[in-house]
Amino acid sequence: MDEENKEISETFLELAKNELKIESIDKEVEQYKIRKMESVYNERDTLIEKIPSFWKIVLSQHLDFANYIRASDFKYIDAIDKITVKYASDIEKIGSFSITFHFNEIKDDFPAQIISKNFKLMKNVPDQKKSGQDNEEENTEETKFDEIELEEKLTSEISDVQWPKEYNSINPDLIKDKKSPEGKKSYRQGMKSFFGWFRWTGLKPGKEFPHGDSLATLLSEDLYPYCVKYYTEAQRDFADEDSYSDDTSEEGIDLSEEEQDNEEPAKKKIHTS
C-alpha cells in the first residue's frame, strides 16, 4: 500500500507540472491571437468610425451590458462615439488590457473627452484568514495543487473622468459631507453610476462600483471583439420590427421564430470564440 501511495503522490506532482504547461500554452495562444488580431482590429476601428451611431446601437443592443448601467446613465452611454481595447501581448502581461472611450460633448452638461482605463491581471496571494484555516493533516498532493492554483484577479487604477454637471449632487469629489446619511447616500449613488466605474480598482470590494471587473471583461472579451455581430443583429431586429408592423395584421406574430432569434447571440459566441 505504501508503494501505491508513493506512486499516486508522484502522479499528482507530474499532473501539477502538466497543468503548468497547459497554463503556459494558454498564454502563448493568447499572445499569438493578440498579435494576429492587432492590425485587423485597427483596420476595423477606422471603418467603424465612418458608421453613424455604431457604438450607440451596439451598446443599446447588448442585454447584459444594460445590467451594469443605471437607466439615467444611458444618456452618457449614447454620447460614446468610439471604444477601443488594446490587449497587452508580453507573455508576463497577458490578461492585462486598456479600454479607451471617446465621449461626445453634451452641451452645457458634459465635455467631450477621451478616457482610458487600464486593467491588470494580478496573482492573488491567498488572504491571511484562508491560509490560517489550512488543515495541517491535508495530504501533500493537495498542497501541491494549491500552490499552483493561486487565483488571478483583475485590478485597475482610478481614471480621471470629468463628470456631467447634472451629476454634481452625486459626484464624489463634490460631496463635502460624506458622513451624513444624505451624503453617504449620494456618494453611493455616484459610485454606482457609470462614472463611478472609472474609479473602480478592485482593491476595495463592497466600496466600489459593483462587479467592476465583470463590466471590464464584458467590454474586452465580448462587446469589443463581437461588436460588428451585435451591430448586425441590432439592424436585423430593426428590420424585423418594420416587417412585423406591415404583416402582423394578417398573420399574427410567429413567437417560436422570435425565440429562435433570441437564442442566436449565445450560440454564435460559442462557435466564434
Asked if residue 271 binds a second copy (CB under 8 A), the reply is yes
Look up residue 201 and give its three cell numbers: 480598482
Which residue shows C-alpha cell 499528482?
A: 12
Give the range of 27-35, 156-164, 166-174, 192-200 binding a second copy by CB under 8 A: 27-35
In the region spanning residues 92 to 131, those forming contacts with a second copy, defined by CB under 8 A, are: 95, 121
**Interaction between residue 204 and a second copy (CB under 8 A):** no
State the Cα–Cα distance between residues 172 and 170, nearest whole angstrom. 6
210 counts as binding a second copy under rule CB under 8 A: no
Here the cell at position 143 is 498542497
Q: Is residue 25 a contact residue for a second copy (CB under 8 A)? A: yes
Q: How many CB atoms lie within 10 A of CB 16?
A: 16
Closer to a second copy by CB, 23 or 182: give it.
23
- Report CA 17 to chain centroid distance, whole Å: 31
Contacts of 188 (CB under 8 A, 6+ apart): none
Q: How far is the CB of 37 from a second copy (least distance, A)?
A: 6
**Phi and psi at residue 61, to the nearest 5°:** -80, -30
Least separation in angstroms between residue 159's CB and a second copy is 22
Separation between Cα atoms, residue 39 and residue 211, nearest integer Å = 31
As measured in angstroms, the least distance from the Cβ of 157 to a second copy is 20
Residue (of 42, 23, 270, 272) closest to 145 by Cα position: 23
Stretch that binds a second copy, among 61-69, 79-87, 147-155, 193-201 (CB under 8 A): 147-155
Cα–Cα distance measured from residue 231 to residue 233, given in angstroms and rounded to the nearest whole number: 5
Helices within 62-167 (DSSP H only): 63-66, 74-77, 128-132, 140-148
Answer for which of 64, 178, 236, 258 binds a second copy (CB under 8 A) is 236
**Nearest-approach distance from CB 189 to a second copy, in angstroms:** 25
* Site residues for a second copy per CB under 8 A: 7-8, 11-12, 14-15, 18-19, 21-23, 25-26, 28-29, 32-33, 36-37, 40, 43-44, 47-48, 50-52, 95, 121, 133, 135, 138, 142, 145, 149, 151-152, 217, 221, 228-229, 232, 235-236, 239, 243, 264, 267-268, 270-273
